[in-house]
């Protein structure tokens, strides 16, 4: 048997009850934690594994919108007025930015308010000084002129509001702008300022940082999108304008859809950030031009970076092309002549600060040319506007729109109302004859003035005309004749006003431009004056019983015979547009050509909608049917056109000198000058003309604000356009196209 060796004595330390308890608690806690982890793993793997797989699958793809190229806008000869080219835009979505930007915006808005107050105070001081000078009977001294200049300079020197610097504590925003600036080669401060100004201008709308970036920066921003929160970099179709400023106000502009537009109106429900028409034809035909957006889908990893194979993209559908009735040669001739006549008037000492023209086919309402001055290049809207560019286009926020001049975005042919002077006389004449008030063969209006109720109504420059018939009165533009007609019409109610409306004056034309932008105008009458009386009475009550004299000169003012006489020569409170005047004359032309059948055409610029490959989608002429047809006495119409023709060729014709050398045997000319007075301004030049042709008749309306006499500033514009249209030289009569 073996004997186990003897062991030495072992020393055992006793375990205290407290230690045993702690060990037991620790073991229990470890067991519980292990159980929780095990249960969680089992839950994730067994119970929710399928759902997690689906979520992971969803997170592996991203859908990026791809904007559709907008359709082109083409002239009648298929020449491109507005095209598109592929590019990329980088925008920042304010609502997705890290916190901190709102503080900057609030400070900037406060500075904007302070700047506006400073400018208002400076303007108030200047106006007070000018009012003091006007009330003085003495001539302005050199010292006073210097003070006036100093006050004007003080307005210009009001400092523009500065964007406050981003606080150093906003590290995430600092870092974002610095990273983005490195990619776009822009200072971070410039990006910050663009974002703040953009939010202050239109809150919540994406702010464009760069509108034309290359593929390299876009790729970087897409591949490292986790480093650029709130930054959108996507392919876009940028508008381009091969002919520059031509027909700028007509074709209009595009821009990102706003929050308000998404909520209601024609753009409700389209994708946020979409580029839509904002004015002109771009807005009216947006549903055709916009196309349908596509998307591209990519795999991304957990860091939101593109990985794996590309997924087939849903291709965008390009918009349709829009073909217009505009004739490029005629449009160019009109714009050139308008600029030249404004320059000539300015050289003669006239302010001549704006103008417009319309050329229309009187048979079907096709707009052959339409222009407005001052103008702008629509390409300026393809990138963020600088403060100076924005001010040039929109004016300063505090400024009231001037009566004339400025406002290059305004389409003066459609959107501004004017008195029209003597060009209104044929409308007055046809209404008086058709109503049985006027005998066109009776001699009326002799002398240099007509006196009614102690008031004298003079001819221009108090010219002394002999009493004459209608034809001669139109040829020499006798105001005393038409003052007399206006007096006769007054005794028969609203004859003058009713016929003006019937011929389209003071009525919506229905042109294919945004409805909100068309000036309806005013044809004043007794009901109109009563409405002003009500407004004056309300204003006086708010003014604690002190007459405002804002709407009428005296309380309870009535429509008088004198006002009707002034209206009969196209003056007073009459407001209409070059487009409305062209429609009224077109109706008379139609009656002249057809033996009395007058048509109120619906003017339109759109002619055809085409697929990008040129396939016809829709012909638009059929959509713009005449608004109204009615019969006129052909004898009355012929007498009016006899007077209009004599005005261009007769010995006393107001525009005979303008048509010197024109080949009347090929195309007879008919025209009416107008010189309209506007309170506190130089007279406005007007000219209405019709050049006869069996196949290519044309009616032209032209006007120059503060340009002086119609024959001097407006009629040469029509002559230049007619020379282009019929290929007749400005000098001796030449060959015609047809």
User: What is the tens place of the pLDDT at every residue in 322-373?
Assistant: 999 999 999 999 999 999 999 999 999 999 999 999 999 999 999 999 999 9
Mean pLDDT of the residues in the chain:
85
Per DSSP, helices labelled H in 314-439 are 328-347, 387-394, 412-415, 425-434
Q: Which of 280, 257, 251 is nearest to 270 (CA)?
A: 257
| Torsion sign, CA atoms 375, 381, 382, 387 | positive
**How does residue 126 score in pLDDT terms, banded at 50, 70 and 90?**
confident
**How does residue 397 score in pLDDT terms, banded at 50, 70 and 90?**
low
Q: Give me the phi and psi of 525, to 5 degrees please.
A: -155, -170
Answer yes or no: is pLDDT of 664 > 60: yes
Answer yes or no: is pLDDT of 675 > 90: yes
CA distance 634 to 1: 154
In this predicted structure, what is the pLDDT of residue 273? Answer: 67
**How does residue 469 score in pLDDT terms, banded at 50, 70 and 90?**
very high
Q: What is the CA 493 to chain-centroid distance, rounded?
A: 38
**How does residue 432 score in pLDDT terms, banded at 50, 70 and 90?**
very high
**Residue 432 exposed, middle or buried by CB count within 10 Å (0-12, 13-18, 19+):** buried
Answer yes or no: is pLDDT of 497 > 80: yes
pLDDT, tens digit, for every residue of 34-85?
Answer: 777 777 776 666 656 555 555 555 445 655 566 788 999 999 999 999 998 8
pLDDT, tens digit, for every residue of 622-637?
Answer: 889 999 999 999 999 9
Q: Which DSSP letter does residue 669 get?
A: E
Greater confidence, 386 or 225? Answer: 225
In this predicted structure, what is the pLDDT of residue 304? Answer: 45
In this predicted structure, what is the pLDDT of residue 509? Answer: 95
Q: Which residues contact 274 (CB under 8 A, 6 or more apart)?
A: 67, 256, 257, 267, 290, 293
Q: From the CB of residue 410, how many other CB atoms can be counted at a distance below 10 Å?
A: 19
Greater confidence, 143 or 599? Answer: 599
Q: Which DSSP letter does residue 564 get?
A: H
CA distance 248 to 338: 15
**How does residue 610 score in pLDDT terms, banded at 50, 70 and 90?**
very high
**How does residue 133 score in pLDDT terms, banded at 50, 70 and 90?**
low
How confident is the model over 4-32, as a mean pLDDT?
Answer: 66
pLDDT, tens digit, for every residue of 186-234?
Answer: 899 989 998 988 888 766 567 888 877 877 888 888 888 888 988 888 7
CA distance 92 to 209: 7
Greater confidence, 67 or 503? Answer: 503
Q: Are 311 and 295 in contact (CB under 8 A)?
A: no
**How does residue 734 score in pLDDT terms, banded at 50, 70 and 90?**
very low
Geometric angle at alpha carbon 605, from 604 and 609, rounded to 5°: 110
Greater confidence, 468 or 93? Answer: 468
CA distance 514 to 284: 6
Answer yes or no: is pLDDT of 384 > 90: no
| Beta-strand runs (E) in 632-697 | 669-676, 684-691
**How does residue 398 score in pLDDT terms, banded at 50, 70 and 90?**
very low
Q: Which of 685, 662, 671, 665 is nearest to 643 (CA)?
A: 671
Cis peptide before 418 (omega within 30 of 0): no
CA distance 605 to 281: 8
Q: How far is CA 327 from CA 81, 272, 323, 414, 579, in A?
A: 11, 36, 11, 18, 17
In this predicted structure, what is the pLDDT of residue 738? Answer: 35
**How does residue 386 score in pLDDT terms, banded at 50, 70 and 90?**
low
At 127 the three-state DSSP class reads: helix
Burial 613-622 (b: 16+ CB within 10 A, else e): eeeeeeebee
In this predicted structure, what is the pLDDT of residue 403? Answer: 62
pTM of the model: 0.78
Answer yes or no: is pLDDT of 420 > 60: yes
* H or E element at residue 189: helix 188-201
Answer yes or no: is pLDDT of 666 > 70: yes
In this predicted structure, what is the pLDDT of residue 585? Answer: 98
How much of the chain, in percent, has pLDDT values that exceed 90?
A: 52
* Domains contained in the chain, CATH given: 67-100+166-324 (3.90.1310.10), 328-389+406-524+559-726 (3.40.710.10)
Q: What would you measure as the largest C-alpha separation in the chain, in angstroms?
A: 166
Greater confidence, 520 or 95? Answer: 520
Q: Which residues contact 724 (CB under 8 A, 6 or more apart)?
A: 329, 330, 332, 333
Entry field: residues in the chain: 738
In this predicted structure, what is the pLDDT of residue 310? Answer: 55
In this predicted structure, what is the pLDDT of residue 138? Answer: 47
* H or E element at residue 267: none
Q: Which residues contact 76 (CB under 8 A, 6 or more apart)?
A: 323, 324, 325, 326, 327, 328, 607
Structure tokens at 185: 């080669």
Q: Which DSSP letter does residue 365 get?
A: -
Q: Which residues contact 185 (CB under 8 A, 6 or more apart)?
A: none
Q: Which residues contact 244 (CB under 8 A, 6 or more apart)?
A: 377, 379
Answer yes or no: is pLDDT of 135 > 70: no
Structure tokens at 84: 């598109």
| Torsion sign, CA atoms 713, 714, 717, 722 | negative
At 641 the three-state DSSP class reads: helix
At 100 the three-state DSSP class reads: coil
Greater confidence, 13 or 463? Answer: 463
pLDDT, tens digit, for every residue of 640-663?
Answer: 999 999 999 999 999 999 999 999
């Amino acid at each position: 048997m073996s004997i186990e060796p003897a062991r030495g004595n072992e020393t055992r330390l006793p375990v205290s009850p407290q230690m045993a308890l702690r060990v037991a608690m620790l073991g229990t806690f470890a067991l519980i934690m292990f159980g929780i982890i095990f249960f969680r793993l089992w839950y994730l793997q067994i119970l929710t594994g399928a759902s997690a797989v689906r979520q992971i699958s969803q997170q592996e793809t991203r859908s990026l919108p791809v904007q559709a190229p907008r359709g082109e806008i083409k002239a009648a000869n298929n020449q491109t007025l507005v095209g598109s080219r592929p590019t990329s835009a980088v925008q920042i979505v304010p609502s997705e930015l890290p916190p901190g930007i709102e503080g900057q915006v609030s400070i900037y808005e406060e500075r904007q308010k302070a700047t506006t107050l400073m400018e208002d105070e400076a303007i108030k001081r200047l106006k007070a000084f000018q009012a003091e000078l006007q009330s003085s009977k003495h001539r302005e001294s050199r010292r006073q002129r210097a003070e006036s200049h100093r006050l004007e300079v003080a307005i210009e020197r009001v400092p523009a509001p500065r964007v406050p610097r981003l606080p150093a504590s906003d590290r995430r925003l600092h870092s974002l702008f610095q990273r983005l600036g490195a990619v776009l080669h822009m200072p971070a401060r410039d990006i910050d300022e663009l974002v703040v100004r953009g939010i202050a201008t239109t809150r919540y709308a994406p702010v464009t940082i760069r509108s034309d970036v290359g593929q390299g920066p876009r790729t970087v921003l897409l591949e490292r999108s986790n480093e650029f929160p709130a930054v959108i970099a996507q392919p876009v179709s940028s508008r381009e304008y091969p002919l520059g400023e031509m027909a700028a106000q007509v074709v209009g502009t595009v821009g990102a859809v706003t929050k308000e537009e998404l909520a209601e109106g024609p753009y409700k429900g389209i994708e946020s950030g979409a580029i839509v028409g904002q004015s002109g034809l771009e807005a009216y035909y947006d549903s055709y031009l916009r196309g349908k957006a596509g998307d591209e889908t990519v795999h991304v990893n957990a860091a939101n970076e593109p990985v794996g194979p590309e997924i087939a993209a849903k291709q965008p559908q390009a918009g349709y092309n829009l073909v217009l009735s505009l004739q490029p040669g005629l449009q160019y001739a009109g714009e050139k002549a308008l600029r030249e006549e404004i320059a000539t008037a300015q050289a003669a000492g006239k302010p001549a600060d704006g103008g417009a023209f319309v050329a229309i086919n009187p048979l079907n309402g096709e707009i052959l040319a339409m222009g407005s001055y001052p103008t702008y290049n629509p390409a300026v809207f393809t990138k963020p506007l600088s403060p100076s560019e924005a001010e040039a286009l929109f004016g300063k926020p505090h400024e009231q729109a001037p009566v004339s001049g400025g406002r290059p975005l305004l389409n003066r042919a459609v959107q501004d109302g004017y008195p029209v002077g003597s060009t209104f006389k044929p409308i007055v004449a046809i209404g008086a004859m058709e109503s049985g008030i006027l005998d066109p063969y009776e001699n009326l209006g002799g002398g240099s003035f007509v006196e009614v109720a102690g008031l004298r109504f003079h001819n221009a420059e108090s010219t002394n005309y002999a009493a004459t018939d209608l034809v001669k009165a139109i040829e020499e533009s006798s105001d005393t004749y038409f003052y007399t007609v206006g007096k006769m019409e007054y005794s028969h109610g609203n004859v003058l006003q009713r016929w003006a409306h019937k011929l389209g004056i003071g009525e919506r034309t229905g042109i294919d431009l945004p409805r909100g932008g068309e000036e309806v105008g005013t044809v004043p009458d007794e009901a109109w004056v009563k409405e002003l009386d009500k407004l004056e009475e309300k204003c006086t009550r708010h003014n604690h019983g002190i007459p405002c004299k804002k709407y009428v000169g005296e309380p309870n003012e009535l429509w008088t015979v004198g006002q009707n006489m002034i209206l009969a020569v196209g003056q007073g409170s009459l407001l209409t547009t070059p487009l409305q005047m062209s429609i009224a004359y077109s109706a008379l032309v139609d009656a002249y050509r057809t033996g009395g059948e007058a048509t109120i055409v619906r003017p339109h610029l759109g002619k055809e909608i085409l697929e990008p490959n040129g396939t016809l989608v829709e012909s638009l002429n059929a959509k713009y049917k005449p608004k109204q047809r009615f019969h006129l006495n052909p004898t009355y119409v012929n007498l009016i056109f006899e007077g209009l023709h004599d005005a261009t060729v007769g010995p006393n014709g107001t525009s005979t000198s303008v048509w010197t050398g024109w080949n009347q045997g090929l195309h007879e000319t008919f025209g009416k000058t107008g010189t309209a007075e506007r309170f506190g301004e130089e007279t406005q030049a007007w000219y209405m003309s019709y050049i006869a042709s069996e196949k290519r008749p044309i009616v032209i309306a032209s006007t120059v604000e503060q340009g002086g006499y119609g024959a001097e500033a407006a009629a040469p514009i029509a002559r230049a356009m007619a020379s282009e249209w019929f290929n007749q030289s400005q000098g001796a009569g030449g060959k015609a196209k047809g």
